[in-house]
Amino acid sequence: MNALEFEFSGQRLAALGSGALWWPDQKLLCVSDMHLGKSERVARRSGQILPPYEGRDTLSRLATDLELSRATTVVCLGDSFDDLEASDAFVSTDRLQLISLQAGRHWIWIEGNHDPGPVELGGTHLVEWSCGPLKFRHIAQPGEVGEVSGHYHPKARLRAKGRTVTRPAFLVDYARLILPAYGTYTGGLHCSDTALADVMAADARAILTGAQPYILPMPR
């Protein structure tokens, strides 16, 4: 796996280039904001037609991460589907692939603001979940320590070799870790935006995803 290891709340974690978080001691893989079914939701609400393959691509990347990591626990940090109707309209082949990925694993769906979790699918459905010193939820809350969340779809810019590259990014400080969006059709919020700059501590770092994850002070 292409990954960058770091320590958070006394735990050794790894930010994968795909945007997934790996916790080796717990054999736990965590992803956030897959927004499966987004193309269907966009077509339903606006009439704009997008290629309906984002679910397949997102699940294919997830399957690769699960195969390489051999994770036994999977945590989906909310907004797994773009909305409830998108969950209902999820194409059968993608649904079957998702069910096959769940088989033999402890699968936890965390409630998001777009969906309360795909309740018709297997797994455990929770508002938040704690494991050891880490607490998993969708949206960061003030005053927490050891919190792992998503929601904001953070991204960061890196200037190298005369060009600027923008990538989805993990944000981490002493108290909280925010994951990038895992879904293929998800946009992002630059980490210099007030919504993120106000949440993260002054010494926060950004870990850019991609073929070679890269860590740098969080741009502000």
3-state SS, the chain, equals CCEEEEEECCEEEEEECCCCEEEHHHCEEEECCCCECHHHHHHHHHCCCCCCCHHHHHHHHHHHHHHHHCCCEEEECCCCECCHHHHHCCCHHHHHHHHHHHCCCEEEEECCCCCCCCCCCCCEEECCEEECCEEECCCCCCCCCCEEECCCCEEEEEEECCEEEEEEEEEECCCEEECCCCCCCCCCEECCCHHHHCCCCCCCEEEECCCCCEEEECCC
CATH 3.60.21 is the classification of domain 3-217: yes
Q: pTM for this structure?
A: 0.89
Each domain of the chain, given as residue ranges in start order, spans 3-217
pLDDT in tens, the chain (220 residues): 799 999 999 999 999 999 999 999 999 999 999 888 654 444 444 445 445 567 688 999 999 999 999 999 999 998 888 555 545 556 566 788 888 999 999 999 999 876 666 667 789 999 999 999 999 999 999 999 999 999 999 999 887 778 888 999 999 999 999 999 998 767 789 999 999 999 999 999 999 999 999 999 999 8
Quote the pLDDT of residue 44: 42
Quote the pLDDT of residue 88: 53
Quote the pLDDT of residue 158: 82
Angle between helices 54-69 and 38-46 (to 10 degrees): 160
Rounded to whole angstroms, how far apart are CA atoms 6 and 8? 7
- Single-letter code of the amino acid located at 47: G
Quote the pLDDT of residue 84: 55
Strand partners, 23: 28
Label the pairing between strands 176-178 and 189-190: unpaired
Rounded to whole angstroms, how far apart are CA atoms 177 and 104? 28
Quote the pLDDT of residue 177: 98
Q: Confirm if 144 and 199 have CB atoms less than 8 A apart.
A: no
Rounded to whole angstroms, how far apart are CA atoms 82 and 94? 15
The single-letter DSSP state of residue 83 is S
Quote the pLDDT of residue 101: 94
Strand order of the β-sheet with 21-23 is 3-8, 11-16, 21-23, 28-31, 73-76, 106-110, 124-126
- Which of 151, 154, 140, 147 is CA-nearest to residue 220? 154
Q: What are phi and psi of 161, to 5 degrees?
A: 55, 40
